Structure 1
Amino acid sequence: MSLINVTNLTFAYEGSYDNIFENVSFQIDTDWKLGFTGRNGRGKTTFLNILLGRYEYTGTISANVTFEYFPYEVQEQENFTIDIIREISPNSADWEIIKELSLLDIDDDVLYRQFYTLSKGEQNKVLIAAMFLKENSFLLIDEPTNHLDAEAREKLSNYLRKKKGFILISHDRSFLDNCIDHILSINKADIEIQKGNFSTWWENKERQDSFEIAENEKLKKDISRLSKSARRTSNWSDEVEKSKKGTTNSGSKLDKGYVGHKAAKMMKRSKSIENRQQAAIEEKSKLLKNIESSDGLKISQLAYHKNELVELKNVSIFYGKTMVCKDVGFNIEQGDRIALKGKNGTGKSSIIKLICGEDINYTGTFRKVSELRISYVSQDTSHLKGNLTDYAFDNNIDESIFKATLRKLDFSRIQFEKDMSSFSGGQKKKVLIAKSLCEKAHLHIWDEPLNFIDIISRMQIEELLLEYSPTMLFVEHDSEFCKNVATKFYEL
Structure 2
Amino acid sequence: MSIVHVENLTHFYGDQLVFKDIEFRLLNKEKVGLVGPNGAGKSTLLKILSGQLLPDYGSISWLPNKQIGYLEQHIELKKGTSILDFLKSAFQHLYDMEGEMLGITNKMAICNEVELDGLLKRYSLIQDILEAQDFYLIDSKIEDVSSGLGILALGLDRDVAQLSGGQRTKLLLAKLLLTEPDILLLDEPTNYLDYEHIVWLKDYLINYKKSFILISHDTHFLNEVVNVIFHLEHKHLTRYVGDYQAFLEAYELRKHQIHIAYSKQQQEIHKLETYIQKNKVRSSTSKQAKSREKKLAKIERIEKPVGNLHPRYSFHVSERPVSTIIETKDIIVGYTYPLLPSFNFTLKRGEKVAIVGHNGIGKSTLLKTMMGEINPLSGTISIGDNVRPSYFEQEWHTPVEQTPMDYIWSMHEQMNQKEIRQALARAGINKEHILQPLHTLSGGEQTKVRLCQLMLEKSNWLILDEPTNHLDVQAKEALALALKQYEGTLLIVSHEPEFYEEWCTNVLNLEDCR
Q: TM-score, structure 2 length as denominator?
A: 0.75
Please point out which of 144, 156, 174 is paired with 2:201. Answer: 156
- Residues 1:134 and 2:151 aligned together: no
Rate the CA distance shift 1:112–1:463 in 2: closer, same or farther, 3 A.
Answer: closer
**136-145 vs 83-92, greater mean Cα deviation:** 83-92
Other-structure match for 1:43: 41
Indicate the residue corresponding to 1:418 in structure 2.
436
Whichever residue aligns with residue 3 of structure 2, its letter is L
**Hey, what does 1:256 align to over in structure 2?**
none
Is 1:480–2:498 an aligned residue pair?
yes
Distance 1:70 1:181 in 2: 21
Q: Say yes or no: does 1:99 pair with 2:141.
A: yes
> What residue in structure 1 maps to residue 71 of structure 2?
70
Find the counterpart in structure 2 of residue 286 from structure 1.
303
Shift of 1:434: 0.9
What is the aligned-residue identity percentage? 25
**Distance of 1:304 and 1:219 partners within structure 2:** 56
Q: Name 1:145's counterpart in structure 2.
A: 190
| 1:361–1:369 distance in 2 versus 1, CA, 3 Å | same
**Aligned counterparts of 2:396 and 2:496: Cα–Cα separation in 1:** 19
1:470 and 1:206 mapped to 2: Cα distance? Answer: 37
Residue range with higher mean Cα deviation, 433-442 or 308-317: 308-317
Q: Answer with 1 or 2: which has the greater Rg.
A: 1
Residues 325, 108 of structure 1: alpha-carbon distance in 2 compared, 3 angstrom cutoff? closer
Alignment of 1:300-311 (within 5 A): 300-304=316-320, 306-311=322-327
Task: Spell out, residue by residue over 1:63-99, the C-alpha distance to the aligned partner (whole angstroms, 9 max, x if none).
Answer: 2222121136254352344443343233351314413
Residues 1:166 and 2:212 aligned together = yes
Contact 1:8/1:24, CA 8 A, preserved across alignment: yes
On the 8 A contact 2:169/2:192 being kept in 1, the answer is: no
In structure 1, distance between residues paired with 2:6 and 2:45: 11
Aligned residue in 1 for 2:130: none
Q: Tell me, what secondary structure is at the counterpart of 2:333?
A: strand
Q: Is the 8 A contact 1:317 1:323 kept in 2?
A: yes
Specify which of 381, 390, 394 is matched with residue 410 of structure 2.
Answer: 394
Q: CA deviation at 1:374?
A: 1.3
Q: Residue 455 of structure 1 corresponds to which residue in structure 2?
A: 473
C-alpha spacing 1:449/1:104, structure 2 compared with 1 (3 Å): same
Of 73, 77, 81 in structure 2, the residue corresponding to residue 79 of structure 1 is 81
Q: Deviations along 1:189-222, whole A, 9 cap, x unmatched? A: 41022233334323433444456567777888x6
The more displaced of 347-356 and 31-40 is 347-356
Q: Match of 1:252?
A: none
CA displacement at 1:475 relative to structure 2: 1.1
SS where residue 375 of structure 1 aligns? Answer: strand
Structure 2 letter corresponding to 1:137: D
Q: In structure 2, how many angstroms separate the alpha carbons of the residues matched to 1:480 and 1:123?
A: 25
Deviations 1:108-157 (A, max 9, x none): 99555544466766655554444344365311122223333333333333
Query: Whole-Å Cα distance in 2 between the matches of residues 112 and 354 of structure 1?
Result: 28
Find the aligned partners of 2:78 and 2:260 in 1 and give their Cα distance. 58
Structure 1 length-normalised TM: 0.78
Matches within 5 A, 1:426-441: 426-441=444-459
Q: 1:225 to 1:142 in 2, by over 3 A?
A: closer
User: Could you give the per-residue CA deviations for residues 237-285 of structure 1, whole angstroms, max 9, x where no partner exists?
Assistant: 89xx8xxxxxxxxxxxxxxxxxx9xx74xx89999999999999x86x5
Query: Is the CA contact (8 Å cut-off) linking 2:339 and 2:362 kept in structure 1?
Result: no
Per-residue displacement from partner, 1:379-436 (whole Å, max 9, x unpaired)?
2221423244443343236354443232244433343333323333332222211100
CA distance in structure 1 between the partners assigned to 2:424 and 2:480 by the alignment:
16
* Corresponding residue for residue 389 of structure 2: 374
SS for the counterpart of 2:217 is coil
Report if aligned partners of 1:66, 1:136 keep a CA contact under 8 Å in 2. yes
Segments of structure 2 that go 5 or more residues without pairing to the other structure are: 95-133
- Following superposition of structure 1 onto structure 2, how do residues 299-378 of structure 1 map, counting pairs within 5 Å? 299-304=315-320, 306-312=322-328, 315-320=331-336, 322-334=338-350, 336-358=351-373, 360-361=375-376, 363=378, 366-378=381-393
Letter aligned with residue 425 of structure 2:
R
Shift of 1:33: 2.1
Give, as a single letter, the amino acid of the residue that structure 2 aligns with 1:300: H
State the distance in 2 between where 1:120 and 1:85 align.
17
CA distance in 1, matches of 2:68, 2:303: 36
- Conserved? CA contact 1:35–1:167, under 8 Å: yes
Contact 1:7–1:24, Cα closer than 8 Å, also in 2: yes
Which amino acid in the other structure matches residue 302 of structure 1?
A: S
Partners in 2 of 1:389 and 1:120 — Cα distance? 28
The offset of 1:314, in angstroms, is: 5.0
- Report the secondary structure of 1:94's partner residue: helix
Secondary structure (helix, strand or coil) at the match of 1:201 reads: helix
Q: 1:140 to 1:156 in 2, by over 3 A?
A: same
Across the two proteins, how many residue pairs are aligned to each other? Answer: 459
1:307 to 1:416, Cα distance in 2 relative to 1, 3 A: same
- Partner AA of 2:219 in structure 1: R
* Residues 351 and 26 of structure 1, relative CA distance in 2, 3 Å threshold: same
**Deviation digits for residues 427-473 of structure 1, max 9, x if unmatched?**
22222111001112111111112222223322222233334455321
Q: Distance in 1 between matches of 2:229 and 2:465?
A: 29
C-alpha displacement of 1:294: 0.9
Partner of 2:7: 7
The alpha carbon displacement at 1:5 in A equals: 0.8
Does the C-alpha gap of structure 1 residues 128 and 421 become closer, same or farther in structure 2, counting only changes over 3 Å?
A: closer
- Spell out the pairing of 1:225-304 with structure 2 (5 A cutoff): 230=274, 264=285, 285-289=302-306, 291-304=307-320
Once the two structures are TM-superposed, the CA of residue 31 in structure 1 deviates from its matched residue by 0.9
Contact 1:30 1:166 in 2 (8 A): no
CA distance in 2, matches of 1:88, 1:134: 6
Pick from 12, 15, 18 the counterpart of residue 17 of structure 1: 15
